[in-house]
Structure 1
């Protein structure tokens, strides 16, 4: 199972993805899959945000280093010295909670794209994690208020699309507003998707994409998750002003600025799953790929994945062993306990009791960015012996689930998966191997 995960993550490396997606020659930037050719007549500026933006910048410098005028990308704090870059500067930024470095780096990006003309080209490198890593709050919203709002949104059980609809309406750069700042320059946005279905307006909160959500949608999310009374007052005031038309909404589809914007997905979860499936076949495993649209409560997804694996093992349905089941997406965890963990660890913990004593069956789930929740693990792995091993140590899986303490459970068993920062992000990869 670990070999399959490793293959998936390697395939969506930011540098490789950029180099394979675009070409440059005779002062023309080309994206063959889009049939797009962009003449380079003026300055080339590189901006970016997300966990893969540093590696993506390496790819851009490999292709057109001599033509880059300047560049600035916000990267995950602690990784800023890992990149071999000559013209593009990296700024460390906080994740999942923005910090003062986030604001500083974003100001540098904004200054870089101000007062461009129609001969200039902005190459925007967008990837998962970009919502937190690039931020400039609306006037009147402090960093502390922004962080309080972000924490409430992350812990309420909202889907990432819902979280981003709020983020876009309290930010000066999200929801197409970065594209508005770049106008009238041409924008070529290269994107590594970490959102189910690859919607351009949701990935990193869509800084270069038309926004289909409104201030009213943001308000509806706060109402849905009972956040109105506990959100910072500045957040509530800003959204109310937007609903009343006192603040300009994000640019919508059909806005003239997007006639000069080209968005292109260079890597996503589907590509990672395909790589894992190819690796499985090379190991003589039959493969069942469930797609990249997995959502829902993490523990329930784990139980369902276990059930599919058991159907294969005991009934040869829909395929027979030896086999691999692979899926991608992004589950959610409704935090009710005080424990430590992440959605991938909770997916696996949810399967532990169901696969107890199943020989030749294992289940794993990882975040492709190498970080699961607010832990240092990427995910976890379990097999048919995990339940009995836990009981022998006095650990009851149900108790750890009830307090959202999956990290402590798997740490005690030495079954956490550690990758370190992978410098990419295409949501989560989960699966089972049945022998």
Structure 2
């Protein structure tokens, strides 16, 4: 049963692969020079160029699909992907940044992308390929914020348990490209965002911190987030003074800072967590499972998510009438308030927590938690797969799970006990998936 769960997860990665999915959504008739995208069609004359820009974990595979779609009619492009990205591109240049924290590579790649955008003639069509991971890969700090400041603040935000919306609220105030600021550099062009969503509710303002989505940026709200998690005492003094100064200017004005929409700008989400979770329900159903797709998408603390999964499972078991194998499908992303100095990710930690829960069950029960990007935190695995015997088997080997859990060291627990799911970077990112299977 573990192999079946893993097999379905791997099949889902193929289902959401942009290299196979994008050509069916974004179509190009070279002879008529007409581009069709869902219900929209664009006539692109021979006097107008076609460019591709983009950033995110899925940018390389999306760029490969764009080259396949437009072929020789594509003028060129630049996309920024994660480390060790490979896509075999010809007309589009692939640059590499870093994730989850930006470094000099992200900054340098962003500068190259901005220079490329500046040289795109007005009247051109620009396809912007956007996916999760952009917040670190696309990086241009606002003056006087330095890269080192950003790295420290990003680390604080990722470790404090803040939600993705709260994290982005702060990020946007410290960037010259986030929060719709990249869009301002594309005036005079027709801009079409091709988006893979990795956030709850598919909020365009939140995906990659919304570089091409016009929106309001609030320094007052950013300061409130920082204070909520006690970061006002940890953020570099220079940056904190900057935020306070900008908030004062904001509160004196009649409205918050806003980025403006531009003419001829369109956005389409081509894949999301809900779409892949729904496909998981179909796949399990075809395998004879009684399926429960648990909505809505989850966002929140891992402690609450663990309780939510367990409580939902108990309710389903209580009302279960048949002996048919059942699966509960969860999707979304939880946040971990890191207190230890171990190595792990939210999926591995959630799997370890659930393994301790499953230990009390006698029926064969399996839990899988993995990221569709193939990267769980700062590790080389996508997540982990456990069952109701995982903990007893580990203890029999002399592996006590509790010290690993208290030290946020789930990676090394599974490295010793077994259970890692290893896919390598998938070139995609539509949040995380969890399967809870009872036979």
For the superposition of Structure 1 and Structure 2, which TM-score range results when normalised by the shorter chain?
over 0.9
How many residue pairs end up in the alignment?
428
Q: CA deviation at 1:159?
A: 0.6
Q: 1:14 aligns with which of 14, 18, 21?
A: 18
Structure-1 residue corresponding to 2:58: 52
Correspondence 1:332 to 2:338: no
Distance in 2, Cα, partners of 1:256 & 1:279: 40
Structure-1 residue corresponding to 2:151: 147
Alignment partner of 1:200: what SS?
coil
Report if the CA contact (8 A) 2:351-2:386 is conserved: yes
Q: CA deviation at 1:359?
A: 2.7
Report if the CA contact (8 A) 2:132-2:208 is conserved: yes
Distance in 2, Cα, partners of 1:304 & 1:381: 19
Q: CA deviation at 1:369?
A: 0.6
Alignment partner of 2:335: what SS?
coil
Change (3 A) 1:90 1:250: farther
Report if the CA contact (8 A) 2:25-2:38 is conserved: yes
Distance in 1, Cα, partners of 2:242 & 2:25: 39
Query: 1:27-426 to 2 correspondence within 5 Å?
Result: 27-33=33-39, 35-37=40-42, 39-40=44-45, 41-79=47-85, 82-114=86-118, 116-245=120-249, 251-252=258-259, 255-257=260-262, 259-313=263-317, 315-316=319-320, 321-356=324-359, 357-426=361-430
Q: CA deviation at 1:240?
A: 3.0
Report if the CA contact (8 A) 2:294-2:329 is conserved: yes
Distance in 2, Cα, partners of 1:74 & 1:120: 20
Q: Normalised by the size of structure 1, how large is the TM-score?
A: 0.93
Distance in 2, Cα, partners of 1:337 & 1:202: 28
Question: What RMSD, in angstroms, separates the aligned Cα atoms of the two structures?
Answer: 2.1
Distance in 2, Cα, partners of 1:250 & 1:201: 15
Q: 2:433 aligns with which of 399, 410, 429?
A: 429
Change (3 A) 1:241 1:90: farther
Distance in 2, Cα, partners of 1:219 & 1:347: 30
Report if the CA contact (8 A) 1:299-1:349 is conserved: no
Distance in 2, Cα, partners of 1:53 & 1:427: 15
Distance in 2, Cα, partners of 1:228 & 1:84: 45
Q: CA deviation at 1:415?
A: 0.9
Distance in 1, Cα, partners of 2:122 & 2:193: 16
Alignment partner of 2:126: what SS?
strand
227-236 or 105-114, which deviates more = 227-236
Report if the CA contact (8 A) 2:217-2:256 is conserved: no
Alignment partner of 1:404: what SS?
coil
| 5+ residue gaps, structure 2 | none
| 5+ residue gaps, structure 1 | none
Change (3 A) 1:5 1:299: farther
Q: CA deviation at 1:77?
A: 0.8
Q: CA deviation at 1:338?
A: 1.9
Q: CA deviation at 1:67?
A: 2.4
Q: CA deviation at 1:299?
A: 4.3
Distance in 2, Cα, partners of 1:290 & 1:249: 37
Change (3 A) 1:316 1:182: same
Q: CA deviation at 1:59?
A: 1.0
